[in-house]
Amino acid sequence: MKIKQRGIITFVLLLLIIPLGFYTKVYSGPANMWVNNSLGGFFYEIFWILLVSFLFPKAKPFRIALWVFLVTCAIEFLQLWHPPFLEMPLGNFIGRTILGNSFNWGDFPYYFLGSLIGFFILKGIGKIHS
């Protein structure tokens, strides 16, 4: 598939995943604590994988998924340390939504699953029209 077509599909998926990810932070229905605090990590990974793929269309899906997973895990561990450069963005809703607000071992399975699904989404996009 041409890079331009993949870019359009990736952009449309980003337009879908962004509001879905933000919605997990304000959801107030059944299992809201789980949706607010854990499920968002799943969509967080997919968002970053799609964004990196959009910005670097020639990058391989596995590398994108692996790097996104490693970087988000590193950010999670940084929350144990509370470095000053991380504290400032955590002072607002967007910062907390993007970076999280505290360390939680339970986030790692959602990061892994989100990265895995993100990888398969990229593979699927690559197979369309190929």
Write the pLDDT tens digit of every residue in 84-111: 877 778 778 777 777 777 788 999 999 9
Structure tokens at 18: 């962004």
- Residue bearing the bigger pLDDT, 17 or 100: 17
Residue entry with tokens 């490693």? 70
pTM, two decimals, is 0.88
Task: Determine contact, residues 76/68, Cβ cutoff 8 Å.
Answer: no
Q: Taking each helix axis from N to C terminus, what angle separates 3-26 and 40-55, rounded to the nearest 10 degrees?
A: 160
Q: What is the pLDDT of residues 45-97, one digit of tens each?
A: 999 999 999 999 999 999 999 999 999 999 889 888 877 877 778 778 777 77
Domain boundaries, the chain: 3-127
